[in-house]
């Protein structure tokens, strides 16, 4: 109704529109984290105290959920670090909940022997070691799962109380197996190559004959 203020009102409305767009773009990640946080709280794929395994920029991280806010989720690792991930990234990532239903975890340990070693003897030693460990609740089996380029691979499968115990059992079993295999003369192979020489150059043969003479 006031002609002098008409252009000013139009300019103010345009400025507000531009400011709204700029603010919206700047707050996009914050709003995304907020919505993702609401989704995590509503669907509850994990809770405080759960042990998660996730992919982070530093690699695969395993930790206890210490805090879940509307913006970020905090994991406490076994070495007392804090992995802080935005809710938008953690909600779109594939995670493994190691304690959501049952704490009991199966440890699957790969153990290799050479082709010249006795399979039955090696398996008996592995099962004897596993059966004698108090941290192992149940020994499932130890089948041959692969015939590699330079090794025969066993897969020892045992039940443990939780994932933390399973990690320790893996280390203990590997060390015990190495000591027992060394004592029993069972080879733990390493990668090597066989070089086949189909034809020896004449110059090398002459040099060998000259040295022999």
Q: Which residues, 6+ apart, have CB-to-CB distance to 146 below 8 Å?
A: 152, 153
Instruction: Give the domain extent around 150.
Output: 105-184
Residue 33 has pLDDT above 70, yes or no: no
Residue 153 domain-assigned (yes or no): yes
Shared domain for 79 and 117, answered yes or no, is no
Going along the chain, which residue ranges are E strands? 51-56, 59-68, 72-77, 82-86, 96-97, 105-113, 136-141, 144-147, 152-160
In eight-state DSSP terms, residue 78 is T
**What is the CATH classification number for the domain harbouring 165?**
3.30.70.100
Residue 94 has pLDDT above 80, yes or no: no
Shared domain for 60 and 119, answered yes or no, is no
Instruction: Write the pLDDT tens digit of every residue in 171-195.
Output: 999 999 999 999 999 998 877 677 7
Q: How confident is the model at residue 208 (pLDDT cuts 50, 70, 90)?
A: confident
- Secondary element (H or E) of residue 203: helix 202-212
């Amino acid at each position: 109704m006031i002609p002098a203020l008409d252009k000013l009102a139009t300019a103010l409305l345009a400025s507000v529109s531009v400011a709204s767009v700029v603010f919206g773009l700047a707050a996009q990640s914050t709003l995304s984290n907020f919505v993702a946080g609401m989704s995590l709280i509503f669907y509850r794929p994990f809770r405080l105290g759960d042990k998660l395994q996730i992919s982070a920029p530093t690699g695969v991280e395993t930790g206890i959920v210490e805090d879940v806010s509307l913006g970020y989720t905090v994991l406490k690792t076994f070495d007392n670090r804090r992995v802080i991930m935005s809710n938008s990234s953690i909600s779109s990532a594939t995670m493994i909940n190691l304690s959501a239903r049952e704490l009991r975890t199966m440890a699957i340990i790969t153990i290799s022997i050479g082709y010249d070693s006795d399979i039955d003897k090696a398996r008996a030693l592995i099962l004897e070691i596993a059966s004698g460990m108090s941290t192992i609740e149940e020994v499932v089996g130890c089948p041959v799962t692969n015939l590699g380029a330079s090794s025969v691979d066993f897969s020892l499968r045992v039940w443990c109380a939780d994932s933390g115990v399973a990690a320790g059992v893996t280390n203990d079993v590997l060390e015990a197996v190495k000591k027992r295999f060394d004592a029993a003369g069972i080879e733990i192979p390493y990668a090597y190559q066989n070089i086949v020489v189909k034809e020896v150059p004449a110059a090398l043969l002459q040099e060998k004959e000259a040295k022999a003479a």
